[in-house]
Structure 1
Amino acid sequence: MPESDRPAHTDTLADALAEAAYAAFDDGDLLAARSGFEAVLAAEPDDPVHHYMLGLVCKYLRDWDQSLRHNLRSLALRAAARGIDDGKEHGTDDQTDDEASRWNAAIAATALGDWAEARRQWAACGIDIPAGDGAIHGNFGVLSLRLDPWDRGETLFARRIDPVRAQIINVPLPDSGYRYGDIVLHDGAATGERRFHQSRVPVMNALQRTIVSEYPTFAVFATCPRREDLDALVAMRVPGIAFIEDWTESIRHVCLRCSYGAPHRHREDDDANDAAAWRPERNLGVAAQSRRSVLRLIERWKEQGAGRRLDALESRDHEPSAPPGQGVQWWLAPEDRADAGSAIPDDAIDETRDEDRDDELR
């Protein structure tokens, strides 16, 4: 409406509503933040910043339709303010381009399987993606993926197939609900970094699983008298087995400060004199199509060496957890949480993978 037709109290009301909405977001209360920004936009429907913020909140709530809608509206309003048709011009002027809105619009479009919109937004961001009309499937390197950042985030490695989707290349712990080979949608902002072979890779928060792998996780507890017995088991291949991982060595329990790439000294570091001693009892994660496939693998392995033993075989059928509507700001890195007054204590546990592993999906 024309400026002169606005009620005199509108600006004051919008400011108060916005202050409350931002406060809720800073407290990690996504449900209250959503209601708050919706109220702001009811008072000021053409404010691109608050459309962006509502789109951001909806992203963390995984309301992808609304996240896409509000991020696209933010882009359109910004473009209109500069006299640019957002549907025709992209990347021609850095000052006209809201990169955060574009990334979040592309994430939401990817979650919805709207590949035309996702491709349009990635192109506008200047990201080179494989040609085509459907799902993006390229090689965007490796990242460290935090599976449940709102809890005790298990962190492992995944191969990126597009800017915000990655395929898991470790065997996740059964309680996570994820599987080896799952394709997972992740956030666009890094919350730390990890060593992967001779390089450092970003840590990204998982948002949701988009494609379920055919290989659930089986926990195998076995006795391997010698390291050669373990090596033989890990290298063994039978039909129905995708990957075998020795969790005994690959999983480390570290505090979140270390897990986000800020290592510091622990008392237990001084008590590791016997770390090189061989431990016959091994905990392994096996990605397999069925329990029968795992038993067939173990029987063949036992037949080929003395003293080899299966102690237990377990499997659990879980679904990945959903992010909470209220709680800590799980989407932030620890140092940012500290600045926001919601730091995680140093003794919180994170389960993370060693970087030395075969990074190819079999």
Structure 2
Amino acid sequence: MWSDWKAADEAGDAGLAAALASELVELTPKSYCSWFQAGLLSKAVGNWPESLERNRRALELFTPKDAEEFGGANPAAWNLGIASTVVGDWPSARHAWVAYGLDKFQAEAGPIDVDCGMAPVRLNPDQPSLPHQVLFSAGNTEVVWCWRRSPAHAVIASVPLPESGHRFRDVVLHDGEPKGTRQLDGQDVSVFDELGRLEESGLPTWQAQVVGATGNDFQALSDLLEQRGLGLDGWSGIRLMCSDCSHGAQQNGHDHIPAASDDVKRLGLAGHESDLDEVIETWLSGRHGIQVLNLDLLW
């Protein structure tokens, strides 16, 4: 049965793998490995209720011997936390994170909404992490900064390009396996792949072109927008790169399109027009030599 399971993985036969996963847990109902592998398949294809139940069972069967194999950590606990977050089963999610060793999630009840710091998330990932994985896609791949609200979900803090199919303050589900790094305050921070979108913010995305503003001016604009819950991103600084380099495997000889460095700065803005107009008017008052050439609604 195990040989057939591996062969189905290698052949990319998701239908056969699903049938074998069900047979595995029936034949070996007390095997952590069987339930964990079956739960991985459910995760890969996005069957979250099934993934929750299979990883819950794997968690119950986890032994000290299994812990040795996985370096003391229980990967089924992490996958249970992800699946529980999707379906909104917060008691199960808290139980999962505590089982993984994250004791701070035991203290309270109800939905998890905790400041877990900033993290980059790859929207619409282009490389699978698991056999048979169905990648979530709403548009083009883009790495954006997010406010992490739990180990498995985050709120988009950047203003994504419209081509990504995402907006500022969308809530996204993300995996726990690092896929490359980005720099934050001089430190490497792991990139996580998006697994799905939990909530859409509906906030419109705009583009503005600005001339004559300094870094301090843009920081002042950012502060004003943040006070109103609006978004700002410096789109002139976006750097396009290939998939391998985006995932951290920098290739020698790869030439990527450099970020723009001309005097006209391209900004991405998020919010409703009246709110943005009011903030921009406040920002420009008392500042001389700055021109906002346009404010165009993108989507």
TM-score by length of structure 2 reads 0.78
Match for residue 208 of structure 1 among 185, 188, 196: 196
Please list, as runs of the form range in 1=range in 2, the aligned pairs for 1:119-268 lying within 5 A after superposition. Answer: 119-130=94-105, 131-150=107-126, 152-213=140-201, 216-224=203-211, 226-228=212-214, 232=217, 235-236=220-221, 237=224, 242-249=230-237, 251-266=238-253, 268=255
Kindly state the Cα deviation for residue 196 of structure 1 after the two structures are TM-superposed: 1.3
The aligned residue for residue 322 of structure 1 is: none
Q: Percent identity?
A: 28
Inter-partner Cα distance in structure 2 for 1:129 and 1:300:
42
Inter-partner Cα distance in structure 2 for 1:309 and 1:125:
50
Please list, as runs of the form range in 1=range in 2, the aligned pairs for 1:1-362 lying within 5 A after superposition. Answer: 14-24=1-11, 27=12, 30-78=14-62, 99-130=74-105, 131-150=107-126, 152-213=140-201, 216-224=203-211, 226-228=212-214, 232=217, 235-236=220-221, 237=224, 242-249=230-237, 251-266=238-253, 268=255, 278-280=262-264, 282-288=265-271, 290-298=272-280, 305=288, 308-311=291-294, 313-316=296-299
The answer to whether the 8 Å contact 2:213/2:290 transfers is no
Q: Cα distance 1:30–1:146, how it changes in 2: closer, same or farther (>3 A)?
A: farther
The answer to whether the 8 Å contact 1:54/1:70 transfers is yes
The answer to whether the 8 Å contact 2:178/2:190 transfers is yes
How many positions carry a matched residue from both structures? 281
Q: Cα distance 1:190–1:42, how it changes in 2: closer, same or farther (>3 A)?
A: same
Q: Which amino acid aligns with 2:293?
A: L
Q: Cα distance 1:268–1:21, how it changes in 2: closer, same or farther (>3 A)?
A: closer
Kindly state the Cα deviation for residue 255 of structure 1 after the two structures are TM-superposed: 1.4
The aligned residue for residue 341 of structure 1 is: none
Of structures 1 and 2, the larger Rg is shown by: 1
Q: Cα distance 1:221–1:31, how it changes in 2: closer, same or farther (>3 A)?
A: farther
Inter-partner Cα distance in structure 1 for 2:9 and 2:73:
19
Gaps of 5+ in 2: 127-136
Q: Secondary structure at the match of 1:278?
A: coil
Q: Deviation per CA, 1:277-314: give whole Å up to 9, x if none.
A: 5332x3221121x2333344456667765672434512
